[in-house]
Amino acid sequence: MRPSLNCTLAGAIIPQIYIADLGDFFSFGVMAISFEVLGSGSKGNCYLLRTPESNILIDVGFSGRTIVLLLERHGLSIDDIHAIFITHEHNDHCNGIRGLRKLKDVIFFANEKTAETINARMCKDINWVAFENERTFRFRDLEVTAFSLPHDAVDPVGYVFSLPNCCGTPSRRKICIITDLGYAPHGLAQYASGVDWLVIEANHDLRLLELDLKRPVYIKNRIRSKYGHLSNDAALSFISKNYSTRWKKITFVHLSSDCNNPEIIRNMLRKYNFPKSLEFEIADPLANGCNREACDQNSMSITAPTGA
Ligand SMILES: [Zn+2]
Ligand SMILES: [Zn+2]
């Protein structure tokens, strides 16, 4: 069954022309292609991906007003956004839909179950385009694949975005976003390892979660369950076991502000023998503003998104 309003199948749309020679994917000075954590943590999640033909948001877990402000810091108006890709229906990922749905030219992408659930909970006048998980489709100069994740939502997904070709490289650069998963299932590596930039959840430190006084036991058990959130140990274990020479950068996101902090992850990373060429970045759920702070000789940095 389809979401009841304004829904078309993603595979049916948007043949576009690709632009070559855009500069290095990681040369942010050129700003032809960029990926930014606008905010990530338990209170909200929102990412901005810009290419020559596309300005998209992945999740809108803050209010529409906050997202407008965050975009302004990046020199963008909300009217510059072409589409919003939703991972799942939890509030920290779709809170802004209510305020942003009236934007006439913005397309909301989700799979059918997620779109239906959000329709039922919020409103039915959302401009959805529904996709099928594991089926690649195009949007402007992007190729997009959504894949299933184990989490307590109706049909949660991660995304791989294949970016416009640049610098005459033989293949398109790719970025993979994986958040909100209780464990790394068999098959996840096929999406995560074939990309240049991996964005992955490192939600909690197991000890801090155990000691946490704010959360009742049933909530802690939900977080630790197979359909909860990925711990630091699980995230690093996954990266270590599935290390890919293609990776150039790994960004840790969705940190719990009570049961995690970037320092813990930085210290854990030092115990691994990752090559110096691999850059790490940690989205700080408590930091305010969007500054980047270099913090380690292993070209590690902390992004400082606005968390509320
Ligand atoms: Zn969730
Ligand atoms: Zn979440």
Dump pLDDT digits (tens) for 268-305. Answer: 999 999 999 999 999 998 764 333 332 232 334 444 43
Residues linked to residue 176 through DSSP beta bridges, in sequence order: 160, 198
The pTM score is 0.85
In the predicted model, is pLDDT for residue 209 greater than 70?
A: yes
- Residue 293's φ and ψ, nearest 5 degrees, are -130, 115
Measured in Å, residue 52 CA sits from the centre of ligand 1 at 30
For ligand 2, an ion, list residues with CB under 5 A: 92, 180
Tell me which residue of 7, 41, 21 sits closest to 124, measured CA to CA. 7
Task: Provide the 8-state DSSP code for 140.
Answer: T
Q: Give the pLDDT score at 296.
A: 33
Position 75 in a domain: yes
Position 23 in a domain: no
Report the SS3 class of residue 44.
strand
Measured in Å, residue 189 CA sits from the centre of ligand 2 at 21
Position 24 in a domain: no
Parallel, antiparallel or unpaired: strands 174-178 and 197-201: parallel
Sheet holding 34-41, edge to edge: 8-9, 128-131, 107-111, 83-85, 55-58, 44-50, 34-41
Half-sphere exposure in the Cβ direction for 28 (13 Å, CA)? 7
Q: Cα(125)–Cα(162) distance, rounded to whole angstroms?
A: 29
Position 2 in a domain: no
Q: Give the pLDDT score at 289.
A: 36
The per-residue pLDDT for range 112-152, each reduced to its tens digit, is: 999 999 999 987 789 999 999 999 999 999 999 999 999 99
Q: Cα(12)–Cα(49) distance, rounded to whole angstroms?
A: 22
Segments forming the whole domain that contains residue 46: 31-303
Measured in Å, residue 39 CA sits from the centre of ligand 2 at 12
The tally of domains found in the chain comes to 1
For ligand 1, an ion, list residues with CB under 5 A: 90, 180
Measured in Å, residue 240 CA sits from the centre of ligand 1 at 24
Q: Report yes or no: 47 and 35 within 8 Å, Cβ to Cβ.
A: yes
The overall average pLDDT reported for the chain is 84
Instruction: Provide Rg for the chain, Cα atoms.
Output: 18
Position 18 in a domain: no
Q: Give the pLDDT score at 15.
A: 24
Measured in Å, residue 92 CA sits from the centre of ligand 2 at 5
Position 25 in a domain: no
Position 308 in a domain: no
The number of the ligand nearest the C-alpha atom of 92 reads: 2
Q: Could you tell me the CATH number of the domain that includes residue 81?
A: 3.60.15.10
Position 167 in a domain: yes
Q: Give the pLDDT score at 1.
A: 37
Contacts of 223-227 with C-beta under 8 Å, sequence gap 24+, read 224/182, 225/152, 225/182, 226/150, 226/182, 226/183, 227/150, 227/151, 227/152, 227/182
Report the SS3 class of residue 8.
strand
Helix (H) or strand (E) holding 139: strand 137-139
